């Protein structure tokens, strides 16, 4: 017996995730993600300070407008410093962090910035792998940088990416 497939409704078209600047009105949703992702999350004050300082704060949104992830970066002289990049747990592993990172790199290029810097916990192997795949190099270590359980501190690996077309690190 052969089955005859009847045409059914077409699935709704999938649109690529949208990006927009983060605002104070987004902080409840952002903090919900932040608090579930980290043992030592950023506070509302950290995000408000970043917004007030004019840092690059961007959201990645799903078709339904739900926040999938976000990135916060601080511009500096000829460089950008990634402070926070986070994706909601149910959306991890789907390329959202990579997309946020690529948009940040594109923004650096558009602003003629020469490098992108970040710190990452040695224990955050998933993030370290993402950064290494993108070409970031480990360039240093900040001792006792991050809070850790039982009042301890965890080191931070400093990583840097030269933005294509920019001069090497340092002053010429």
- Rounded Cα distance between 5 and 94, Å, is 31
* pLDDT number for residue 14: 56
* pLDDT number for residue 172: 39
* pLDDT number for residue 17: 72
Task: State the 10-residue block means of pLDDT for the chain, 172 residues long.
Answer: 45 68 98 97 98 98 96 97 98 96 96 97 95 97 95 96 67 40
Q: Which residues are catalytic?
A: 119, 131
- Which tokens belong to 79? 């460089």
The superfamily (CATH) of domain 18-162 is: Gcn5-related N-acetyltransferase (GNAT) (3.40.630.30)
Task: Report in angstroms the alpha-carbon separations of 8 from 5, 11, 12, 44, 150.
Answer: 9, 9, 12, 47, 57
């Amino acid at each position: 017996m052969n089955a005859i497939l009847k045409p059914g409704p077409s699935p709704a078209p999938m649109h690529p995730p949208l990006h927009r600047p983060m605002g104070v009105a987004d902080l409840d949703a952002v903090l919900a993600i932040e608090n579930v992702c980290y043992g030592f999350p950023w506070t509302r004050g950290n995000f408000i300070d970043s917004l007030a300082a004019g840092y690059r704060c961007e959201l990645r949104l799903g078709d339904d407008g739900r926040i999938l992830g976000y990135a916060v970066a601080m511009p500096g002289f000829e460089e950008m410093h990634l402070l926070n990049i986070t994706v909601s747990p149910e959306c991890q592993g789907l390329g959202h962090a990579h997309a946020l990172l690529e948009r940040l790199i594109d923004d650096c290029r558009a602003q003629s910035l020469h490098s992108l810097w970040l710190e990452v916990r040695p224990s955050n192997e998933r993030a370290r792998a993402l950064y290494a795949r993108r070409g970031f190099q480990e360039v240093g270590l900040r001792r006792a940088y991050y809070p850790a359980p039982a009042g301890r501190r965890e080191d931070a690996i400093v990583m840097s990416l030269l933005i294509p077309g920019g001069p090497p690190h340092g002053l010429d």
